[in-house]
Amino acid sequence: MSETNPLQRPATRAARLSAVEEALLKYVITSQSQLSQILADEDIDVTQATLSRDLDELGAVKTRLADGTVAYTIDRRQQEPASHAGAKAEQQMSRILSGLVTSVASANNLIVVHTPSGAAQYVASVIDRQPLDGVLGTIAGDDTVMIVCSDERTASDRSRWLLDIASKTVSGE
């Protein structure tokens, strides 16, 4: 396993599908061989036939991007350019989190987010659905979400970012 990638995945179909989805959201993938190489860099060996089935199952399609590149896309990217998708995702996060986040604090490589009772699972799922660099995952209780980051600086930066997102007021509401 690469030292620069602390994420380790089990050798399961679900883990492989998750890796394919993350790669499609993070990179501009123009071919199955490029995607196969990205997966191989994560120690995931996959045949072309399996990769084709995975792409089909995830609903990935080749789409012409705003810059003219033809690449595999799923959900967010296939419907609009990445810059608009990112802004829209942030606006949706703001709409949800502004009513549910009561405080945010970082300590070392962790972020602690407090919510009203019963809201932590939902807040964690909203955060988990975003491809956030440096965020390894979340753990949710009843009214507290712990976000595990790759390092202290990322936790500090993401903590401020999350507080900014939760503090925004969305126009039209």
What is the DSSP-derived secondary structure letter of residue 158? H
pLDDT tens figures, 64-123: 888 888 989 885 434 444 444 556 667 777 887 888 899 999 999 999 999 999 889 988
* pLDDT band at 15; cut points 50, 70, 90: confident
Q: Do domains 13-79 and 86-167 have the same CATH topology?
A: no
pTM for the complete prediction?
0.54
Looking at domain 13-79, does it have CATH number 3.20.20.240? no
Name the residue among 137, 97, 136 with its Cα closest to residue 120: 97
Q: What is the pLDDT of residue 1?
A: 40
Residues 67 and 168: their CA atoms lie apart, in Å, by 31
Q: What is the pLDDT of residue 60?
A: 86
Looking at domain 86-167, does it have CATH number 3.30.1360.40? yes
Assess whether pLDDT exceeds 60 at residue 141.
yes
What is the DSSP-derived secondary structure letter of residue 166? H
68 versus 153: the higher-pLDDT residue is 153
Instruction: Report domain extents, the chain.
Output: 13-79, 86-167
Q: Pick left, alpha or beta for residue 134 (phi over 0 → left; psi -120 to 50 → alpha; otherwise beta).
A: left
* pLDDT band at 2; cut points 50, 70, 90: very low
pLDDT tens figures, 106-131: 999 999 999 999 889 988 888 887 87
